[in-house]
Amino acid sequence: MEDLLNKALERFKDNEAMRKVLEAAKANQEKLDRCKRPHDFVITQRVIPKATCRKCGGIVDPIRAHFYLEGIVDARKQENENED
């Protein structure tokens, strides 16, 4: 993801508005990457709903947060099954 954002920043280096958006996206991704997992997402209602991690402040769309949490639940189920 970081490589993609860096390439986009290089491509749009002369477009200040796009550069600001991409820099914000890169900073958000860095927060998410550095977070001590598991993320603790809470849905924040704004014009467009978002899911914000209470631990790192990283923001994702609610669908991504949902599937992240589903993955956590499935992993825990598998761990419990392997213990039996």
Q: Would you kindly state where each structural domain of the chain is located, as residue ranges?
A: 1-34, 38-84
In 1-84 the beta strands, taken as DSSP E runs, fall at 41-44, 50-53, 59-60
Q: What is the pLDDT of residues 3-53, one digit of tens each?
A: 787 788 788 778 788 888 888 999 999 999 999 989 999 998 778 899 999
pLDDT score at 72: 92
HSE-up of 36 (CA within 13 Å, CB side)? 1
Higher pLDDT, 1 or 5: 5
HSE-up of 6 (CA within 13 Å, CB side)? 4
pLDDT score at 14: 81
Q: Cis peptide before 38, with omega less than 30 degrees from 0?
A: yes
- Any idea which residue has 């290089």 for tokens? 10
Cross-strand bridge partners of residue 68: none
pTM for the full model?
0.74
